[in-house]
Amino acid sequence: MYRIFAWSCAALLALLGTCQSALAQSHPAVEAFGRLPVMESPMLSPDGKHYAAVQSLEGRPVAVIYPIGFADKPAVITASEGIIDGVRWVKNDRLVVYLKLNRRVGDPSELIHQWTRAVSFDVHGGDPVILMKNNLFTDINTNVAIIDDVDLDDPDNIYMPIFVYSDVDDAFRYDLYRVNVRTGSEERVAVGKARTAGWYLDGHGKIIGRLDHTEKPLLDHVEAYDKGDWREIGEYDATEDRGAGIVGIDSDGTALIRSALDASKRAVFTRLDLAKGKETPVFANPTYDADIPIEDPWTGRVVGAGYVADRPEVYYFDPKMEALQRGLEQAFPNVSASAVSWDTALKTVIVEVEAPKQPPTYYYLDRESHQATKIASAYPGLSQADLGDMKPYPYKARDGLDIPAYLTLPPGKASKNLPAIVLPHGGPDSRDDMSFDWMAQFFANRGYAVLQPNYRGSAGYGHKFTEAGLHQWGLKMQDDITDGVKKMIADGIVDPKRVCIVGASYGGYAALAGATLTPDLYACAISFAGISDLPVMIRSERSRYGSDSGNVSFWLSRIGSPDDDSEQLRATSPDRHADQVKCPILLLHGETDITVPIKQSELMDDALNKAGKQVEFIRFPGEDHYFNFADTRVRFLKESEAFLTKTIGN
């Protein structure tokens, strides 16, 4: 068992201005929910003498480096251009900060692209070095931030891939470089092919394998490397959501770990032997997809695996790590508790604890003293009294399919005749679980029952459940959401005249589809970055990635083809049915969104205005698809709260 302590919030986070009153409030300010998390992705350095995290400063992500013991002030790294999107220790004294920037190339009519770069800093947040800065092809690569191996045996170098142009092949190929983290300079160590898509190293700078990808036909080829020779050990169909599915390297460095489907079409992890090409099972669950590979941060080797039931469940292959995990579960009962970072000696660990009414909270665990010291809560302005109780709320769809779902009830209110928010998740290959959800909890705090259905097509429940959602946008997938609303009404939980559907990304599409295809069910709809026109969306993906790409193959499998299924896609595109709308609609969208271009909301806005419907359209300059800034989150919540108050009350 671990003894749990807490460092002073003032001593730890005063520089970032994150300490807030812990007094419970029935209605905290919008900012308490909409702020960026105080801390995300904390990571210990290899020697355990520092840790770094992404934090929030003046509403923007920053990287912060803390010395263990807090004798010195933390070092804060800001970005004058772009958005800080993550941190990773690569040496005891060097931290890599990931930066992303969405921008157009060429004239204003060109597509927006995302540019990602890796910048190395010392432990004081100084001496910034852009990695691969001298490569002739860095400027034309959108992503120069992939690290294949940190190789702690080498004090100066890591391994990174990049696309370079080959005069011999008259094509771009994916080469592997040894990159100096102190100077940013690079040296090529392996030449890829025009079809190379990935490299596998053993954690010590040794190449053991490669992934090649062909587009006609769409295939993944896994090749093993031994003594200068390449040998193919596996060929896999890469259409739709198939492919090699390599998630990492086995703990002994002689095999790759692959995500595959078993006979019942449930995702499992297998071991693909590099010498013999033999594949054997490693981890599976009879009910849920195995979809959580756990990597050692220093070798990249897969040391554990897990799945998501109502909450994540993780297991380690190493007995010492497994004992650590079970100890954490004993120390933090009835919540999700897991190690998110550790030093190479496994003497110190950063632990994340989370539950529906407990925002992610981080602890520093000294395994020698058995003391777990609280570092920070991601949302310190919220108390449990502010948050709603969340419970599983499964139901059957009209065709008999079991639909997992979760219901969050407003604190302090009886679960009867409530105004309700239906909050379908994005993806759609994603899912909700019983974790803290800042958006759902905000709506619950404001007096609404919140339903989060894992409609067919959601991830985690086996491929058969996914297949049930293929080509069912606006059809059976939407029926699943509708059936959840009808169950809440039948159970007397919600007022049938006060239901609003709210969502982002695919959830935004579902909100617009709900308003257009079932216009009598909802009193309002809110869409953040939602898709409104399916044929236009498919054409946009083809323009960005190419008609023969795996990305386009995936979306054709999920949505359908505007060539073969044109009538169905038009029938399920909300902007084509704006005349059917009976409720007010609020549209919100980031102007630099590359996942769902803002054109999708523009089409819906135009269609609603032409049909004489009540619509409001809010743009977020500089924002993309992912609520990067506190200003975006706070305004989204404020605009939504005002809109809901006018339409369904609270």
Cis peptide bond upstream of 428, omega within 30: yes
Query: Confidence class of residue 124 from pLDDT cuts 50, 70 and 90?
Result: very high
Q: Are 201 and 300 in contact (CB under 8 A)?
A: yes
Q: Are 16 and 32 in contact (CB under 8 A)?
A: no
> Average of pLDDT values for 385-399?
98
Greater model confidence, 17 or 623: 623
What was the pLDDT predicted at 304?
Answer: 97
442/372 same-domain check: no
Q: Which residues contact 334 (CB under 8 A, 6 or more apart)?
A: 355
Greater model confidence, 13 or 77: 77
Query: Confidence class of residue 14 from pLDDT cuts 50, 70 and 90?
Result: very low
From the centroid of its chain, how far is CA 385?
A: 28
Which percentage of the chain shows pLDDT scores above 70? Answer: 95
What was the pLDDT predicted at 5?
Answer: 46
368/506 same-domain check: no
What is d(CA 273, CA 127) in angstroms, rounded to the nearest whole number?
Answer: 42
pTM across the whole model: 0.94
pLDDT exceeds cutoff 70 at 176: yes
What was the pLDDT predicted at 11?
Answer: 42
What is d(CA 336, CA 434) in angstroms, rounded to the nearest whole number?
Answer: 9
Q: In this structure, is residue 192 part of a structural domain?
A: no
> What single-letter amino acid sits at 5?
F
pLDDT exceeds cutoff 90 at 330: yes
CB atoms within 10 A of CB 635: 17
Q: In this structure, is residue 325 part of a structural domain?
A: no
What is d(CA 644, CA 639) in angstroms, rounded to the nearest whole number?
Answer: 9
What was the pLDDT predicted at 549?
Answer: 87
Of 474, 487, 570, whose CA–CA distance to 518 is shortest?
Answer: 474
What was the pLDDT predicted at 563?
Answer: 87
Q: In this structure, is residue 368 part of a structural domain?
A: yes
State the DSSP H helix or E strand holding residue 196, giving kind and residue range, or none if neither: strand 196-201
> Average of pLDDT values for 241-251?
94
361/505 same-domain check: no
H helices, E strands: number in the chain: 12, 38
Query: Confidence class of residue 116 from pLDDT cuts 50, 70 and 90?
Result: very high
Query: Of 382, 406, 440, which closes a domain?
Result: 382
What was the pLDDT predicted at 70?
Answer: 63
3-state secondary structure of 596: coil
Q: Which residues contact 362 (CB under 8 A, 6 or more apart)?
A: 39, 42, 340, 350, 351, 352, 353, 374, 375, 376, 377
What was the pLDDT predicted at 9?
Answer: 40
pLDDT exceeds cutoff 90 at 249: yes
Q: Which of 24-33, 284-293, 482-491 has the lowest mean pLDDT?
A: 24-33
pLDDT exceeds cutoff 60 at 99: yes
What is the CB-side half-sphere exposure of residue 61 using CA atoms within 13 A? Answer: 26
The CATH number of whichever domain residue 461 belongs to comes to: 3.40.50.1820
400/482 same-domain check: yes
> Average of pLDDT values for 352-368?
97
> Average of pLDDT values for 208-224?
95
Which percentage of the chain shows pLDDT scores above 90? Answer: 88
Query: Confidence class of residue 405 from pLDDT cuts 50, 70 and 90?
Result: very high
What is d(CA 368, CA 178) in angstroms, rounded to the nearest whole number?
Answer: 36
3-state secondary structure of 191: coil
Query: 342 lies in which domain range?
Result: 1-130+336-382
Q: Are 512 and 525 in contact (CB under 8 A)?
A: yes
400/470 same-domain check: yes
Query: Confidence class of residue 169 from pLDDT cuts 50, 70 and 90?
Result: confident
